[in-house]
Structure 1
C-alpha cells in the first residue's frame, strides 16, 4: 500500500507500459504518484486491488489512500468511485419513479426532475465523476444557463454552453425555451441537483460532503432586510403621490374603492383581459396560475376553480408549493364574468377559423395561443398609465368628448378616470389586495390561506394582518360617515368633565 511513482510511457519495441520501470521517472515532473490497496473480494471470490492516482506529490497520494481506506470495508465503494453524476442521476431517478408509482411523488414533480436532468444536468456536468464534482463545476453550469438565448450568446460560447444548446435544439424536434433562462428555473434545477447529491452523501455513502452546499446565494444585502409587507394606498398617501409621485414602499395595495374603480375602468375601456383582472382582484391567483389555467379545471356551473399548475416561463409546471394545488369556490359575479368571457373566446374561434390554435387555456391571445406571463403584467401597467393620462388631459383643459376621441375610449371610461386618482401597483399586488380584502371582510384566516395557496395560516397572518386591519378601519370610518346624526358633537361631549380642565 506504499505510494509509488509510475508513468504511461511505453517501450518503443514491445509497446508495453513501462510504469514504475521508466528511466525518465527521475526527471522532475515526469509521471505521477499511485498506490494500491486491498479491497473486499468480489462476489466470485476474486482478489481486488484498486489503484488510486495519479497525484503530483506523495503526500497527496497518501492522503487520498487514507480517505479511501476508510471506505474499503464497503464492497461497492470501489465501483462507486467510477460513478459519474449522470449515472447517479439516472439511478436516483429510477428510485424516484418507483416512489411515484406508489403515490409518494406527484407526476408533475417527476416530470420537472426529468427535464432538469435531460436539458441541463446531464449535458452540462453529467460526465464528471461524483468524487471529482466540485462547486466550480456547478457554478460554471449555472453561468452557462444564464447565457442561453441571450444576444451575446454567440460571442461568449463555451464548450459547456455548446452542449446545452445542442440538447435544447434537438429535443422533440424543436428548440426548447426560446426565452432566456430565469433565475427561478435555475433554482429548480439546483434543487434537483442538491437532492441527488444529498442522497449520494446520506443514502449511497459515495460522498462525504455535498459540493452544491453554499453554491446558490441570494443577492447581496437582502438577507437581513426581512419580508416587505404590503402597505395600503390610503387617501392621504394617494393624495401625496398625485402631488409628488412618492410611492411609500415597493408593495402597495389598493383599497376596495380603488380596486373597484380600476375594474370599472378596465371594463369600460373594453380591455380584452378584463375577466383575468377581475378573477385576480377577487380571488388572488398567482400570474403563472392564471396563465396556466385550463378550461378542464374550471366549472362555471358549480363555480369551482381547481388551481393545479402554473406557467412561470415557457412551459407548464406544477404549482409553487404543494399547498398551491387547491380548489376555489367562486362568487356569482365572477362566474358571470367568466361565462361572458367564454362566449367571447368562442366568437374569436369562429372569426379565426382554421388559423385558431386551441391551447385549452382559459385566458389566451385572440388566436387561441396561451398567454406569455409578461404580457399580462404589461397590459395591467398600460391600463393604469392610460387612466393617469386621461386625467392629465382633463387637467390641461380638454373636454371629456375630446379626450375620448383622442384616446379612442368611450366617454364613460373617461368619466370614471376623472372620478378619482388610481395610484400605481404591480400586477402581483392585485393578489395582495384580494388577500387583504378577504381578511377585512371577515373571511376566516384558514380559508383565506387555502384560497391563496399558502403553506400556513401563520404566513398569511404575518404578511397581511396589518394592512387588512387598516382596510377594515377605513371601512368602519366610511360606515360612520354614511350614517347621518342630528347632533354629531353629542358623543364627544359625554366624556368632558363638568368642571372643565385639560
Structure 2
C-alpha cells in the first residue's frame, strides 16, 4: 500500500498482513494529516545521538558553564542510555523508569539536570519535525529539598574579613554587594565609581573545565550595585593600585582570581579557625553564602524586593522572593495590617460595629 504525504508526494510501498491492518493504518495517517500532526516515518528513524548533538550545537545563548553542564550530562548519562536508539522508539514509560534509576544514585538536583538534557533534545526533535510530541514531558522528578541557608551578621562578616588578612576587603565587598564570584573576579577599576560608591557590573568570568571563559553577567543584564562607606579605604586601595584595565581583585601577577583556589587556600581555613575559636558557633559557610548574607543584611536595612532584585541581578522580583522568601516572614503580617488600616480609613464612621439590622438594611 502507498499513501500520499501532506505535500502530495507519494510514499514507497508498504506491506501489511491483512487488509484490515492496512485500512487501519491509512485511517491513522489521514487523521494525523488533517490534524497537522503527520510525521514522515523516515525522519523519525534518526538515532537519538544525532538529534542530541544537533540540540547541543544549537545552545548558543546559554552561559558557558550551563553549556558545559549539558555536555557532561549527555556524555555521562544520556547518550550511553539513549544514543543508539531511534527517537521514535523512545517511550514515556522507559524515560520515567530511567529517571527513577538515576534518582537512586544521583541527587535530586543532578537528576533533574540530566533529565533536562534528554527532554531538551527530544523537544528539539519535535521542532525539527521528527516527532509529533515529546515523550519526556510530564515525567515525575525527584523533589528538591531546600538546604538550610547560612547568613552572617555584621559582626561575623568583620570577624571573617579580619581573619582573611589581605583578602579582607574582598570578603567585605562580597558580603555587602551581593555580587556573584565571577562578577567580582571580572571587575576592573573602570567599573568602580569611588565617589558614588557604585559598581558597574558589566561582565563575568567563569572557569569551565579548567579554562577561563569571559562573558556577560548571569542574566545577560548589566547593573549598578552600591556598596557602603565602610568599604571606602579598602576599595580605594584595590582600585588605584593598578591600571584601568587591570583586575580589582586579582591573583598572582594580576591574573584572574580563581574561586576554587581562593576557597581552598584562604576562605575555608579562615572559616575553620573561627568555627573552632567560637566553640563551633561560627557558621561553616562558603564564598557563595556571602551573596546570601548580602541579601539578608540588605533586607534587615529596609531594602524591598525590587531593590534586592536589582542588586542581586535576578531576572525578576518573583525569583528573588522565591529564593529569599524566608527573609520576608513579616510581610504577611504587615500586609494584613495595612489592609485593615486602609479599609478603616476608607469609610466614615465605624463600619466594624455590629449592625442593628438583619444585614439587608431592614430593622429587626
Instruction: Kindly tell me the number of residue pairs found equivalent between the two proteins.
Output: 310
Q: State whether structure 2 residue 89 is matched by structure 1 residue 132.
A: yes
Question: Which of the residues 278, 290, 296 maps onto 1:436?
Answer: 296
In structure 2, the residue corresponding to 1:49 is in which secondary structure? Answer: coil
> How far apart, in 1, do the equivalents of 2:330 and 2:216 lie?
26
> How far apart, in 2, do the equivalents of 1:297 and 1:107 lie?
28
Question: Which of the residues 264, 267, 271 maps onto 1:384?
Answer: 271
In structure 2, the residue corresponding to 1:327 is in which secondary structure? Answer: strand
Gap regions ≥5 residues in structure 1: 1-36, 98-105, 148-180, 229-249, 347-357, 393-420, 469-502
> How far apart, in 2, do the equivalents of 1:379 and 1:184 lie?
28
Q: Which residue of 1 aligns with 2:61?
A: 107
Question: Which of the residues 259, 282, 285 maps onto 1:426?
Answer: 285
> How do 1:322-337 and structure 2 match up within 5 A?
322=219, 326-334=223-231, 336-337=233-234
Q: Which residue of 2 aligns with 1:299?
A: 191
Q: Which residue of 1 aligns with 2:173?
A: 279
Q: Indicate how the Cα distance of structure 1 residues 42 and 108 shifts in structure 2: closer, same or farther if over 3 A, else same.
A: closer
Q: State whether structure 2 residue 15 is matched by structure 1 residue 39.
A: no
Structure of greater relative contact order (alpha carbons < 8 Å, 6+ residues apart): 2
User: Does the CA-based 8 Å contact 1:345-1:366 persist in structure 2?
Assistant: no
In structure 2, the residue corresponding to 1:463 is in which secondary structure? Answer: helix
Which is worse superposed, 444-453 or 319-328?
A: 319-328
Q: 1:382-434 CA distances to partner (integer Å, 9 max, x unpaired)?
A: 21332355678xxxxxxxxxxxxxxxxxxxxxxxxxxxx96224134332322
Deviation of 1:50 (Å):
4.3
> How do 1:72-471 and structure 2 match up within 5 A?
73=33, 76-89=39-52, 107-109=61-63, 112-113=66-67, 116=70, 120=74, 124=80, 125-134=82-91, 187-188=112-113, 190-201=115-126, 204=129, 206-211=131-136, 213-214=138-139, 216-218=141-143, 222=145, 227=146, 250-263=148-161, 265-266=162-163, 271-287=165-181, 289-290=183-184, 293-296=185-188, 299-301=191-193, 303-306=198-201, 308-309=203-204, 311=206, 314=209, 316=213, 322=219, 326-334=223-231, 336-341=233-238, 363-366=249-252, 368=255, 370-373=257-260, 375-376=262-263, 379-387=266-274, 389=276, 423-427=282-286, 428-454=288-314, 455-456=316-317, 458-459=321-322, 462-466=325-329
Gap regions ≥5 residues in structure 2: 332-364
In structure 1, the residue corresponding to 2:328 is in which secondary structure? Answer: helix
Q: Which residue of 2 aligns with 1:20?
A: none
> How far apart, in 2, do the equivalents of 1:194 and 1:297 lie?
43
> How far apart, in 1, do the equivalents of 2:156 and 2:61 lie?
42
Q: Which residue of 1 aligns with 2:338?
A: none
Q: 1:51-90 CA distances to partner (integer Å, 9 max, x unpaired)?
A: 699xxxx9xx99x958964776366522222223344446
User: Does the CA-based 8 Å contact 1:39-1:50 persist in structure 2?
Assistant: no
In structure 1, the residue corresponding to 2:224 is in which secondary structure? Answer: strand
TM-score under structure 1 normalisation?
0.47
User: Does the CA-based 8 Å contact 1:279-1:334 persist in structure 2?
Assistant: yes
User: Does the CA-based 8 Å contact 2:39-2:129 persist in structure 1?
Assistant: no
Q: Indicate how the Cα distance of structure 1 residues 387 and 199 shifts in structure 2: closer, same or farther if over 3 A, else same.
A: closer
Deviation of 1:337 (Å):
2.1
RMSD: 5.2
In structure 2, the residue corresponding to 1:277 is in which secondary structure? Answer: helix
User: Does the CA-based 8 Å contact 1:284-1:430 persist in structure 2?
Assistant: yes
User: Does the CA-based 8 Å contact 1:85-1:127 persist in structure 2?
Assistant: yes
TM-score under structure 2 normalisation?
0.61
Q: Indicate how the Cα distance of structure 1 residues 117 and 86 shifts in structure 2: closer, same or farther if over 3 A, else same.
A: farther
